[in-house]
């Protein structure tokens, strides 16, 4: 008799969906209520939770903001280097660390030219810190973004809708540090 093969590893999409569902259920929020408050379709959220719909950065930010958790709470642990994509941004989680009063998420980020990434507001007090390594980046609050070239740094409070766009034809590479108050 041969041993049964080991179970297939859970896909990153399925793992994200499982964590979204667990967080939603822990907070006693219905699927319909979370979809409505996050501004996404109920079918989109259901597909995400069931692992049959690839989560976009925009959708994950909208959902985690309504759940009051950092994006990293639904991504796999940093050892697996989970990545998420949006309209213009690809971000890979490198590290999550917590200290008294705040949780931090460090990402490697690239922004492709020709598209703008619109991100919904995070919970109050969340800040974003971007250091640009290559290219020219325009980012920050939608109503007042700033432009910075390679070697430059931007910081803003991201509890308002904000955006990212590469200026010109060169892809932007950068680090993104999100600071979530409250630990």
Band (pLDDT 50/70/90 cuts) for residue 69 is: confident
- Tell me what the mean pLDDT of segment 159-172 comes to: 96
Read off the pLDDT of residues 76-88 as tens digits, 9 standing for 90 and up.
Answer: 654 455 678 888 9
CATH superfamily of the domain spanning 78-181? Jelly Rolls (2.60.120.10)
- Tell me what the mean pLDDT of segment 53-62 comes to: 84
How far apart, in whole angstroms, are the C-alpha atoms of residue 28 and residue 55?
22
Tell me the average pLDDT of the chain. Answer: 87
Q: What's the confidence (pLDDT) of residue 3? A: 45
Band (pLDDT 50/70/90 cuts) for residue 5 is: very low
Band (pLDDT 50/70/90 cuts) for residue 10 is: low
Q: For the chain, give every domain's residue range.
A: 12-73, 78-181
Q: What's the confidence (pLDDT) of residue 4? A: 39
- Tell me what the mean pLDDT of segment 52-58 comes to: 82
Read off the pLDDT of residues 131-146 as tens digits, 9 standing for 90 and up.
Answer: 999 999 999 999 999 9
Is residue 127 within 8 Å of residue 156, measured between CB atoms? yes
How far apart, in whole angstroms, are the C-alpha atoms of residue 15 and residue 74?
8
Fold match between domain 12-73 and domain 78-181: no
Class of the domain covering 12-73: mainly alpha
How far apart, in whole angstroms, are the C-alpha atoms of residue 183 and residue 177?
15
Where are the extended beta strands (E) located within 7-81?
Answer: none
Instruction: Write down the pTM of the prediction.
Output: 0.70
Q: Measuring CA to CA, how many Å separate 104 from each of 145, 163, 180?
A: 22, 20, 6
Q: What's the confidence (pLDDT) of residue 108? A: 94
Would the pLDDT of 8 be above 80? no
Per DSSP, the residues of 75-89 read SPPGGG--EEE-SSE
């Amino acid at each position: 008799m041969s041993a049964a093969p080991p179970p297939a590893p859970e896909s990153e999409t399925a793992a994200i969906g499982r964590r979204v569902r667990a967080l939603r259920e822990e907070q006693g929020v219905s699927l319909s209520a979370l979809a409505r408050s996050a501004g996404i379709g109920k079918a989109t959220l259901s597909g995400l939770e069931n692992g049959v719909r690839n989560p976009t950065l925009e959708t994950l930010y909208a959902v985690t903001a309504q759940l009051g958790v950092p994006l990293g709470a639904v991504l796999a642990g940093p050892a697996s280097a989970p990545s998420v994509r949006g309209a213009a941004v690809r971000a890979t989680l490198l590290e999550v660390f917590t200290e008294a009063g705040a949780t931090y998420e460090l990402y490697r980020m690239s922004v492709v030219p020709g598209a703008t990434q619109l991100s919904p507001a995070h919970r109050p007090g969340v800040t974003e810190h971007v250091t640009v390594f290559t290219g020219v980046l325009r980012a920050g609050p939608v109503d007042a973004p700033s432009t910075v070239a390679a070697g430059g740094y931007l910081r803003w409070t991201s509890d308002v809708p904000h955006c990212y766009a590469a200026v010109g034809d060169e892809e932007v590479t950068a680090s993104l540090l999100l600071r979530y108050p409250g630990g």
